[in-house]
Chains A and B, each alone.
Chain A
Amino acid sequence: MADVCSINNLTRCLIEGGMNPGLANFISILLGVVATATLPLVTVIFLIWVERKIAARVQDRLGPNRVGPWGLLQSVADALKLLTKEDITPLGADKFIYNLAPIIAFASIVLLWAVVPFTPLHVGANLAIGALYFMAVGSIATIKVMVAGWSSNNKYALLGAFRTIAQLLSYEVPLVLALIVPVMIAGTMSLQELTFAQQGMWFVFMAPVAALIFFIANLAEVGRAPFDLLEAESEIIAGYNIEYSGFKFGMFMAAEFMHAFTICVLTAVIFLGGWSGPFVHELPVLGFVWLGLKTAVVYIFMLVLRATVPRVRIDQLMAFNWKFLVPISIVNLLVTAFLLYVVRALGLTPAPGQEYNFVANLPQTIVLFVGNLVVVGVVVTMIRNWARRQRLGEEARSLALVAVEDENPAAITLPAGH
């Protein structure tokens, strides 16, 4: 191996070539950073096209098809056009933070990619607290909304910012509570090690409820339909970024697209096994393919969801989070903790050295899966009973009304002259 220089052993190669170790280290880190950070930038241009194409197909339209083959270069044309558009700063705006907001928006999403494991060998930074890093950097999105909405000095922007922050803060709670479950199963917070732990069995089978909560809460975090209140055009004209124009507006849009894609990647990493797939250890580059395929499945599901589901109201949004998602994620956490304890007490966990074996993982997976099914069953029954009570109550009320009308027909006769 020593005579083959590649990106995997660049540091050692440079040092053996006679370079200062510190400098060699820095160069390999810099190259890694630029490669990792450019990846989302390149994908986002393609993603906008994918999104517009799929949304168009769902609505029986063609979508972009003029610029380049199949309209592939449409996003490039849009970016170039944005570059030549005038950038207007409103008179009352707080200039410094007004200009800072789009930068925060974009940079915070790029930063998320620092911890994404692409293959068994290629990971930006294999932080021991990867999951916490994801939560911490992901919540910078809240700050960007507040900063943009407040500094614009526009009432619509402020209104949009307020409701967006209420939404982002609220949905962070079930997000974290759902993220605890895979951490608990794997006993690690490093995203790379979480992926390693899923080689025998994906966490989506061990914790389907947590996976679903994670996905839904993430949808709300990026403000995708049905939770796209932050850009409700019909209510608050555009929300927090209304005063932005030119490339600053473009930055917000690009950040939003990138955020949506990033959470799909992270869902794939945390619950769908990340890069794990056939032959990935023989040929590590295959990890990119498996991760890409899993991400594509999640992303397309998200796009179809966006194209088909109507927007919820703000009170429904908050009630859905605090009265539905949060209680369920707490119960799910309790149930998973209890079942994991039982599994371990009964000795159903895979024997040492067998952790990556599919069959060895089956017993504990079955126990956890059945436990999750019970949680879902109880919740569905409770909702059904609640809905039935509501309906019966309504019927009883309307029946009572009819009875009153029958007893006193004069009460509903129209006044004279009609």
Chain B
Amino acid sequence: MAVLNEWAFVGVFFAIAWVFPVLPIVGARIFAPHKPNPLKQSTYECGVETVGDTWVQFKVQYYIYGLVFLVFDVEVVLLFPWALAYNQLDFFAFAAGLLFIFLLADALIYAWRKGALEWV
């Protein structure tokens, strides 16, 4: 019951948290003027008219960073249970964790040597 209560709290929190930002935005609809015109609604680029489509495929560098991040985040999720039970681990589990962190470091060195971490 206690555990369920905690999650009920988070659930209610999720519901309430949306109310706080929505209220003033809706309130602003009532108080604020609303007189749109095409010039006002055009894309803001410091006075220059925008050229071409915005939603295009973009620099591949960001994708590589995303991949490296993904590798690390997945491995980190596996490390949390190990850290949580750390005080009860025997030597084998301890060594296994260290080996895992070594592999993590190895992945980083590989990405580094391959030049994935260079900003070009």
Contact = CB atoms under 8 A, between A and B. Distances in A.
A183 B42 contact: no
Contact of B12 (A30, A131, A158, A170): A30
B17 to A, nearest CB: 4
A173 B69 contact: yes
Contacts of B112: 322-323
A265 interface: no
Interface string B1-16: 0010111111011101
B17 A323 contact: no
Contacts of B98: 334, 337-338
Given A124-B9, A166-B62, A246-B32, A314 B94 contact: no
B101 A330 contact: yes
Given A243-B43, A334-B98, A86 B13 contact: no
Contacts of B36: 88-89
A247 B44 contact: no
B87 A33 contact: no
Interface stretch (A104-112, A221-229, A280-288): A104-112
A242 interface: yes
Contact of B43 (A92, A323, A331, A337): A92
Q: For the side of the interface on A, what is the size category?
A: 35 or more
Contacts of B7: 125, 127
B80 interface: yes
Q: For the side of the interface on B, what is the size category?
A: 35 or more
B104 A330 contact: yes
A333 B72 CA distance: 14
A116 B46 CA distance: 43
Interface in B13-72: 13-14, 16-18, 20-22, 24-25, 27-29, 31-36, 38, 40-46, 50, 54-55, 58-59, 61-62, 65-66, 68-69, 72
A90 B25 contact: no
Contacts of B87: 187, 344
B47 to A, nearest CB: 11
Nearest to A149: B54
Contacts of B108: 322, 326-327, 330
Given A37-B20, A162-B59, A180-B83, A337 B9 contact: no
Contacts of A158: 54-55, 58
Interface of A: 25, 29-30, 32-34, 36-37, 41, 82-92, 99, 102-103, 105-108, 110-111, 114, 124-128, 131-133, 150, 153-156, 158, 162, 165-166, 169-170, 172-173, 176-177, 180-181, 183-184, 187-189, 237, 242-243, 246-248, 250-251, 314-315, 318-319, 322-323, 326-327, 330-331, 333-334, 337-338, 340-341, 344
Interface of B: 3, 5-10, 12-14, 16-18, 20-22, 24-25, 27-29, 31-36, 38, 40-46, 50, 54-55, 58-59, 61-62, 65-66, 68-69, 72-73, 76, 79-80, 83-88, 94, 97-98, 101-102, 104-105, 108, 111-112, 117, 119
29 contacts: A25-B8, A37-B17, A83-B28, A84-B28, A84-B33, A86-B33, A90-B42, A91-B41, A108-B17, A125-B9, A125-B10, A125-B13, A127-B10, A132-B80, A154-B44, A155-B50, A169-B65, A169-B66, A173-B73, A180-B83, A237-B44, A243-B43, A246-B28, A315-B119, A318-B119, A322-B68, A322-B108, A323-B112, A323-B117
